[in-house]
Amino acid sequence: MQKIFIIGGAGKVGRYLARQLAQRGHEARTLHRNAQQTDELQALGAVPVQGNLLELDADGLAALIGDSDAVVFTAGAGGKGGPQMTDAIDGQGLELAVAAAQQAGVQRFLLVSAFPEAGRNKVVSDTFENYMAVKKCADVHLAESDLDWVILRPGTLLDSPGTGKVRAGLAIPYGDVPREDVAATLLALIEQPAVNRMIVELTGGDTPVADAIQSLVSG
């Protein structure tokens, strides 16, 4: 059993991940800011941890992370609150989480980022351009840390049921992927520590999730 601390645990990917972790016998510790979400998260099999990423400092977040075996950062402003909120959560929030993980002595860190081709060949807003820029800066910050990191870059996220099959690689064509399969990929990465200090792109595909992640190890 591993103890996994999920930042963004009340989000869609975070909820899927918490349920899948519990089903595999792991302990999912889900950070959430709304006390009304506690019962919902417990029903998924998670251990709710109340806290607000916008209010915590590194000391406070490190105390919440505690003796976790890994941190998963899947928090995001989701376009709400404009560039300032994206900067605060997707950017500064990630930097805070990295500092807290280092302080807590948690070496394994997984980040849900963004596929670099997202929105290309389309007219996009300044808010979206800022989002992509912040995501890239967050990737750089984590990659330059001394943590055992994995950056997962999923394609366009879908709410359709997961298929259990994906395409994963260092560089793959752009595409869509169900959020449930993103969570399953995170679970497979958690259980495959040999995938380390690597950026992984992810879309829907034809390969079972566990096999797709194993192929990153075996080449």
pLDDT in tens, 101-111: 999 999 999 99
Q: What is the pLDDT of residues 80-132, one digit of tens each?
A: 778 899 999 999 999 999 999 999 999 999 999 999 866 555 655 667 788 88
**Token pair of 137 as six digits:** 């800066």
- The predicted structure's pLDDT at residue 137: 95
**Token pair of 124 as six digits:** 């996009």
Helix 179-190 with 12-23: angle, nearest 10 deg: 50
At residue 79, does pLDDT exceed 90? Answer: no
- The predicted structure's pLDDT at residue 125: 60
**Token pair of 94 as six digits:** 């990630």
Cα–Cα dist 190/98, whole Å: 17
- The predicted structure's pLDDT at residue 58: 98
Q: What is the pLDDT of residues 9-60, one digit of tens each?
A: 999 999 999 999 999 999 999 999 998 999 999 999 999 999 999 999 999 9
pLDDT-derived band at 134 (thresholds 50, 70, 90) equals: very high
**Token pair of 136 as six digits:** 């890239």
Cα–Cα dist 177/167, whole Å: 9
Q: Are the C-beta atoms of 147 and 108 separated by less than 8 Å? A: yes
Mean pLDDT rounded to a whole number for the chain = 93
pLDDT-derived band at 219 (thresholds 50, 70, 90) equals: low
pLDDT-derived band at 158 (thresholds 50, 70, 90) equals: very high
- The predicted structure's pLDDT at residue 122: 60
Q: Are the C-beta atoms of 154 and 194 separated by less than 8 Å? A: no
> E strand or H helix at 46, and its extent?
none
Q: What is the pLDDT of residues 160-214, one digit of tens each?
A: 999 999 999 999 999 999 999 999 999 999 999 999 999 999 999 999 999 999 9
- The predicted structure's pLDDT at residue 154: 97
- The predicted structure's pLDDT at residue 81: 78
Catalytic residues: 131
- The predicted structure's pLDDT at residue 121: 59
Burial of 170: CB neighbours in 10 Å, binned 0-12, 13-18, 19+: exposed
Q: Are the C-beta atoms of 174 and 127 separated by less than 8 Å? A: no
Cα–Cα dist 6/108, whole Å: 12
> E strand or H helix at 70, and its extent?
strand 70-73
